Amino acid sequence: MFSRLIILAAFYKEIMLFFNTFPSLLSRGLVSPYLFLTNVSYVILLTISILALVAIAIGNIYAFAIAVIISAFTCYKPCLPLTQIIFFLLYLAIDTVTNSYRGLEHVSIRTRFRDIAKSLPIPLIPIVSSTVVAVLVIFMIISIVNRFTDIPRSNPQLYTVTASPITKIVVSLAGVIYAYNIVRKVAEIVAVFVMPSPRVALQELSKEKDIDLIFIPAFRWLLYLAFAAILYTPVYTIVFDILLIDLLKELSDLMKSIVSAITYVSLVILCRSLDIFSDIHLGVKRFAVTSTALLILVYVAAVKLALPYHGWGAVLAPDIQKLGEVVQKNYIDFGTTVITFISTFFKLLGVAP
């Protein structure tokens, strides 16, 4: 009962607004709901209040959590919805106490006030420290990106590269992903230092796979992007230009580009899962299966190319020569644009002569 009151206290404003507007919304007929639904902020408010009502009605903790998260994202003031977050933490504490102590048939729980006061800031320490480190990393990357605008003064050729938003987006995206990894690692380290647990530590230290990392380069996914670009042309040529050519003729240009994008992304995921650039986690079985599948694809495509000339004798005499020519032609078509782009990019950066 008390926990329901907490939810009500957290979201009383939204629920009040909901009950104030809902009757008028019904009375005005079916046109006004449509007008209201086009207003994004009203839809969000409706969602939050419905979630809060659900949480009050059936005591579902997930509904409450989702409502708090949505309200955190849509706060009007440039701040977090502190009251709702504090009420949510209170609710979580009460929920934990009721769940874990009811099963053990405790009538009452005796805690010292000092212990409670001590236990409150402990969960905040890892969060705060990891956030500080991540903010520092982001600040670092932002300061590098901001220097991009100074470059044209000393190196005018670079203007198109550094002024384009794509460069900034890619660099910022890499920074955000890196900062996320940093947050995770720092939070783990600080949590282990603050509350050392020998059992967990021994478990973690005995995991050979986690301890025996040799070297994982940072920003490895950029390497996978490049590697997938190399693999992309032969696979795309074999699958869509030779094997499935009749299917692809029917599709429009937009669909073709979507298909090629999907091929590229799935190749990136494939390279990522094979983990080619780290020595220790090499998935031997998956690697064998993938390379066999690629060889079979090459064989089938070569057979299909030789079929009109040799009939079924093509099974024994696949036309790998012609396949190679087709792939080479496509490499030149697709590759020239990419390679020109990359080489000019590096020439402009001053990496390559």
CA angle 226-232-238, nearest 5°? 165
Among 9, 201, 230, 296, binds other proteins (CB under 8 A): 201
Which of residues 173, 213, 251, 293 is near other proteins by CB under 8 A? 213
Q: Which amino acid is at 320?
A: I
**Termini Cα distance of the chain:** 73
Report the sign of the C-alpha dihedral through residues 310, 315, 320, 322, in that order.
Answer: positive
Task: Pick the piece of the chain touching other proteins (CB under 8 A) from 12-20, 51-59, 137-145, 295-303.
Answer: 137-145
Of 160 and 257, the one with the shorter C-beta distance to other proteins is 160
For residues 2 and 5, give the distance between their C-alpha atoms in angstroms, rounded to a whole number: 5
Among 35, 150, 265, 343, binds other proteins (CB under 8 A): 150
- The token pair at 135 is 């903010």
Work out which of 39, 98, 119, 181 binds other proteins, going by CB under 8 A. Answer: 181
CB of 207 to other proteins, least distance (A): 10
Q: Is 79 in the site for other proteins (CB under 8 A)?
A: no
- Measured from the CB atom, the residue of 204 and 279 that comes closer to other proteins is 204
Minimal distance, residue 191 CB to other proteins, in Å: 9
* Residue from the set 143, 253, 316, 337 that interacts with other proteins by CB under 8 A: 143
**Residue of 40, 61, 42, 48 whose CA lies nearest to 15:** 48
Scored b (16 or more CB within 10 A) or e, 13-39 reads: ebbebbeeeeeebeeeeeeeeeebeee
Euclidean distance between CA atoms 173 and 179, whole angstroms: 10
Q: Of these, 94, 122, 200, 226, which contacts other proteins (CB under 8 A)? A: 200
| Choice from 29, 196, 308, 311 touching other proteins (CB under 8 A) | 196
Does residue 217 touch other proteins according to CB under 8 A?
yes
Dist. CA 71–CA 81, nearest whole Å: 7
Residue 122 within binding range of other proteins, rule CB under 8 A? no
- Number of residues counted as binding other proteins (CB under 8 A): 40
Regarding 144 and contact with other proteins (CB under 8 A), the answer is yes
Tell me: does residue 189 bind other proteins (CB under 8 A). Answer: yes
Binding to other proteins by residue 197, rule CB under 8 A? yes
Rounded-to-integer distance, Cα 28 and Cα 241, Å:
58
How many Cβ atoms are within 10 Å of 319's Cβ, its own excluded? Answer: 20
Which of 77, 110, 114, 153 lies at the binding interface for other proteins (CB under 8 A)?
A: 153
CA distances from 61 to 4, 10, 75, 84, 242 (A): 10, 13, 21, 14, 54
Contact between 350 and other proteins by CB under 8 A: the answer reads yes
Asked if 166 interacts with other proteins (CB under 8 A), we say no
Would you say 47 and 14 are in contact if contact means Cβ atoms under 8 Å apart? no
User: Which residues contribute to the site for other proteins (CB under 8 A)?
Assistant: 137, 140, 143-144, 147-148, 150-151, 153-155, 158, 162, 178, 181-182, 185-186, 188-189, 192-193, 196-198, 200-202, 204-205, 211, 213, 216-219, 346, 349-351
